[in-house]
Structure 1
Amino acid sequence: MYEFHGWIMIPEYEKNKDAVFEKIKQRIEEYAWVRGVLGITVVNASYHIYTSGYTNHKAQDADEVFELYQYVAKLSPRAYGLLYVWDDEDPNGLANEFQVFVLMRGKIHERRDPFLSPCIPLLDDPK
């Protein structure tokens, strides 16, 4: 199972925010997702990107989400946000915890999750 949930905020004071919005909107349309949620909208003069997905295995949408976060980091250095990922087949020993990716100041940082991990027994019972 591969689960992800995320958001990015592009603040109203970002330089060239309308051009940034158009580039991100175009990139999202190029992905043409048929499952999962990925979009961009305006809330109180700021742009908000949102995403969520839940699949049996890590798929192409997972790579596209990371690519989008990297794209936004380069395009909009004032953007910030979070991406939470739980991959129960993680090859690096993180199969029982959410990984948290923090976007800020043009970079993505990986952090440990203090809220929902370890997923078992916090979120589900042991089998």
Structure 2
Amino acid sequence: MFEYHGWVTVWEGSCEAEDDTVLREENCREIQLEIVKHKDNMSRVELFYQNGSPYVRFDGDRNHYKSWVLELFIRIGEIAKGSHGLLYIRDQENSDYDNEFQVWRMARGKVVKMKDSLLSPCDPIIETYEI
């Protein structure tokens, strides 16, 4: 199984400014085009606005790994260089990571892989339970 969940706050620069409205809309149009390229019935990736600010949400549970999920996350940071967010990926077909989540952190548009300490190792933290 391949499970992923994440979010991005879309910012144009390292600090939001009121005069970035035109650039924000251009960036959001480009991000929306990237999302449409990968849209399918088994994933939820959407650009939406809340309180006037743009966000991207990622959610999916698929049978096999799809590289476009991480590629899209990275691409959003390249488009809107001040963006920040997190993407959690669990790929049970990858023996190096089958019992843990990979965490990808975006800060100021740059994406780095981080070690997960909240949900990993999946067994026993989230999979083993007592009745």
Q: Normalised by the shorter chain, which TM-score bucket? A: 0.7 to 0.9
AA aligned opposite 1:3: E
With the length of structure 1 as denominator, give the TM-score of the two structures: 0.88
RMSD: 1.7
1:89 aligns with 2:96: no
With 116-125 and 8-17 compared, the bigger mean Cα shift is at: 8-17
Q: Is the CA contact (8 Å cut-off) linking 2:11 and 2:80 kept in structure 1?
A: no
* Alignment match, 1:67: 71
1:103 aligns with 2:110: no
Q: Is the CA contact (8 Å cut-off) linking 2:43 and 2:59 kept in structure 1?
A: yes
AA aligned opposite 1:71: R
Gaps of 5+ in 2: none
With the length of structure 2 as denominator, give the TM-score of the two structures: 0.85
Offset of residue 30 of structure 1: 2.0
Q: Secondary structure at the match of 1:89?
A: coil
1:118 aligns with 2:121: yes
Q: Distance in 1 between matches of 2:127 and 2:28?
A: 39
- Spell out structure 1 runs of 4+ moving beyond 4 A: none
* Alignment match, 2:38: 31
Gaps of 5+ in 1: none
Q: Distance in 2 between matches of 1:65 and 1:87?
A: 12
Q: Distance in 2 between matches of 1:67 and 1:49?
A: 14
Offset of residue 32 of structure 1: 2.8
Q: Distance in 2 between matches of 1:125 and 1:74?
A: 39
Offset of residue 11 of structure 1: 3.6
Offset of residue 39 of structure 1: 0.4
Q: Percent identity?
A: 30
* Alignment match, 2:81: 77
* Alignment match, 1:52: 59
AA aligned opposite 2:67: D
Q: Is the CA contact (8 Å cut-off) linking 2:11 and 2:81 kept in structure 1?
A: no
Offset of residue 106 of structure 1: 2.3
